[in-house]
Structure 1
Amino acid sequence: MKIGLSVGYWSAGPPKNVERRLAEAEEVGVDSVWTAEAYGSDAISPLAWWGSRTERLKLGTAVAQISARTPTAMAMAAQTVDHLSGGRMIVGLGASGPQVVEGWYGAPFPRPLERTREYVDIMRRVWARDGPVEFSGRQYRLPYSGDAGTGLGKALQSTVHPLRTDIPVYLGAEGPKNVALAAEIADGWLPLWFSPRSDAFYRAALAEGFAVQGARRTEETFDVAGVVWTVEHDDVEVAASRIKPIIALYAGGMGAKGANFHNDVFVRMGWGDVCGRLQELYLAGRRQEAVDAIPLEMVEDVALVGPADKLVDDFAKRWADTCLTTLIVGGNPRQATLARLVDVGAAS
């Protein structure tokens, strides 16, 4: 199992010491670095900026939201970073949710699987550079042919000759249909809030996608790269307390009641009663109570928390044999601990 490092998206401003963390990660053999976006910092600009200070780390978005850019715009950005980095770009995409898509981007959310499938197809046509890109789908049309247009659109071919004509595409997905779609059409899957106890559930969803005729990859050539929050502290409860507000935000407040995909993930793990209470409190503005309602065991289902020896031991015993092939470390463990995780992953 490979180890990656997440630098995520920003809160009020840029995180500190990222360049130092990336240098330390590269020194101990970390394989990749990943950015993200919600409705503040974007995923591509920081990846290019920080990536320019590295030599070997693969550069991934986990995830870039498909409603933020047209598929051709995403293809342009990806091939640009891929050229500048010497072929290290990984395009991680996600559909996000209706609150962000419709509230922030002003775009309709329905039919996300269909939209994702068309989006990936168009990007690959751009990179293949076999000719001018034409596409007629339910979600995207190139050239545009709707009544609101001028009728003057022209099919165009990228002026850039991509460094790689087949840049890896990973899909962020949580529900079984989305996970199966990733296994069918993508090069990797980016789970969020992955738990070892859900391993069999996700293996079944992946197998469904691999079984589709014409599936792009097999289980042996497919990367499952999951962000796992990792907080190093001698006191396990203190370490867990730093993850609880994040779980409360995602499972409680990131999405409307009945339309929160992160909440659904924890419900499938068996935390339904806690999730119901958590969402009720968070949406009522009682955020600290929501945080306090999260038990330590729920944190340990999805995160590595505690002293270095416990982090490494939990990883080896619970995570190393799951369907994950890349564990993306979220948080800020010490370099020595990161090196130990790299060693355990290499031996698994």
Structure 2
Amino acid sequence: MATDMRLGLNLGYWQRNAVDSTDLVLAAERLGYDSVWTAEAYGSDAFTPLAWYGARTSRIKLGTSVAQIAARPPVTTAMTAMTLDHLTGGRLLLGIGASGPQVVEGWYGVPFPRPLARTREYAEIMRKVWRREGPVTSDGPHYPLPYPGGAGLGKPLKLITHPLRPEIPLYLGAEGPKNVALAAEIADGWLPLFTFPEKIEQMYGEALAAARPGFDVAAMVHVIITDDLRAALDAVKMTLTLYIGGMGAKSRNFHADIIGRMGYAEVAEEIQSHYLAGRREEAFRAVPDELADGIALLGPVGRIRERLEPWRKSPVTNLLVMGPRDEESLRAIRDLVLG
């Protein structure tokens, strides 16, 4: 059960247009938010916006939620993280994730199979880079160093720069129980995308059992303060429609899988079938209100205050709020969560 819950702002990735959220980030820092997070899919990258915001702030932590491991070799991510951590005075929180086969193989052009083994190997190499205990080598099958081929001249190398912190906090974006268990085993935190607080113990209690003390469950959650509950529910349902229906292949959609584990397997299948057949309106209507309400914080202040109680009783230690676009909303959410 969470006791002292922290509060972060999750900006996600850019949609159709480039968005500079500096004013919102500055407001979050003034209001005492602990962290701000950016993401990437196949548009904006996760690190460049953080560097931009980091140059304009002084205290708020800076997180990637998440940087895709297929986008960069592990040493590249390690160098980028080390550089950004130095420039921002040790404020980086590095979240990484495997993404899915459509993006990994279709966008990055690298193989997706064995994502857990790849993630483990990736994390081990990054930590070798930061610790600078010797030239970095790896005999793993996914990221062998030196490369066993090519010109045959690969040389084990050691990071030139001394990291500000040899242990940059590492988070994993994970949805399946095995991936969550991996996060609990090797990482400092877990970044769940969809969280139903009343169900998280049932779904992931066993996977989280091995987590070390201080393990951070930093859950992303839509928060919409409004008197129009119907409009707020519909906004979350639109997001669920896209992720369940279209963010993954019919045979392998991790977002649909997690909704199934919440007890909505038939619903997820119906949404996906409608969406992939081009029936977007039918897919939207198939999303239950109770699902949208369960994974979000919606409605008037009093209703959100009541809905926060299951989150406080859950393993979630950090709420990364999505949706607010003005200082007034940020202040109201802060007062609800931290007040």
TM score, norm. by length of structure 2: 0.95
Q: Which of 18, 21, 31 is residue 34 of structure 2 equivalent to?
A: 31
CA distance in 2: counterparts of 1:338 and 1:203, whole angstroms: 31
CA contact 1:170–1:188 (8 Å) conserved in 2: yes
The aligned counterpart of 1:213 is none
Give the CA RMSD over aligned residues.
Answer: 1.4
The aligned counterpart of 1:6 is 10
SS in 2 for 1:271: helix
CA positional deviation for 1:98: 0.7
Q: Which of 35, 39, 54 is residue 57 of structure 2 equivalent to?
A: 54
Q: What is the identity, as a one-letter code, of the residue corresponding to 1:231? A: I
Structure 2 spans left out of the alignment, 5+ residues: none
CA positional deviation for 1:313: 2.6
Structure 1 spans left out of the alignment, 5+ residues: 211-217
CA contact 2:24–2:326 (8 Å) conserved in 1: no
Distance 1:107 1:45, change over 3 A: same
The aligned counterpart of 2:159 is 158
The aligned counterpart of 1:92 is 95
SS in 2 for 1:82: helix
SS in 2 for 1:167: coil
The aligned counterpart of 1:246 is 239
Q: What is the identity, as a one-letter code, of the residue corresponding to 2:316? A: L
| Structure 1 residue 222 corresponds to structure 2 residue 237 | no
CA contact 2:24–2:325 (8 Å) conserved in 1: no
CA positional deviation for 1:176: 0.5
SS in 1 for 2:244: helix
CA distance in 1: counterparts of 2:184 and 2:133, whole angstroms: 25
The aligned counterpart of 2:190 is 189
| Structure 1 residue 110 corresponds to structure 2 residue 110 | no
| Structure 1 residue 65 corresponds to structure 2 residue 68 | yes
CA contact 1:26–1:57 (8 Å) conserved in 2: yes
CA contact 1:312–1:341 (8 Å) conserved in 2: no
CA distance in 1: counterparts of 2:289 and 2:230, whole angstroms: 7
The aligned counterpart of 2:84 is 81
Q: How many residues align?
A: 334
CA contact 2:244–2:272 (8 Å) conserved in 1: yes
CA positional deviation for 1:229: 1.0
CA distance in 2: counterparts of 1:77 and 1:287, whole angstroms: 39
SS in 1 for 2:93: strand
| Structure 1 residue 266 corresponds to structure 2 residue 259 | yes
TM score, norm. by length of structure 1: 0.92
SS in 1 for 2:273: helix
CA contact 1:230–1:333 (8 Å) conserved in 2: no
CA contact 2:223–2:297 (8 Å) conserved in 1: yes
CA positional deviation for 1:39: 0.7
The aligned counterpart of 2:277 is 284
CA distance in 1: counterparts of 2:320 and 2:26, whole angstroms: 16
Q: What is the identity, as a one-letter code, of the residue corresponding to 1:332? A: P
CA contact 2:246–2:275 (8 Å) conserved in 1: yes
Q: What is the identity, as a one-letter code, of the residue corresponding to 2:254? A: F
Q: What is the identity, as a one-letter code, of the residue corresponding to 2:55? A: S
CA distance in 1: counterparts of 2:129 and 2:305, whole angstroms: 42
Q: Which of 298, 313, 316 is residue 321 of structure 1 equivalent to?
A: 313
Distance 1:302 1:71, change over 3 A: same
Q: What is the identity, as a one-letter code, of the residue corresponding to 1:52? A: A
Most deviating of 231-240 and 91-100: 231-240
CA positional deviation for 1:258: 2.5
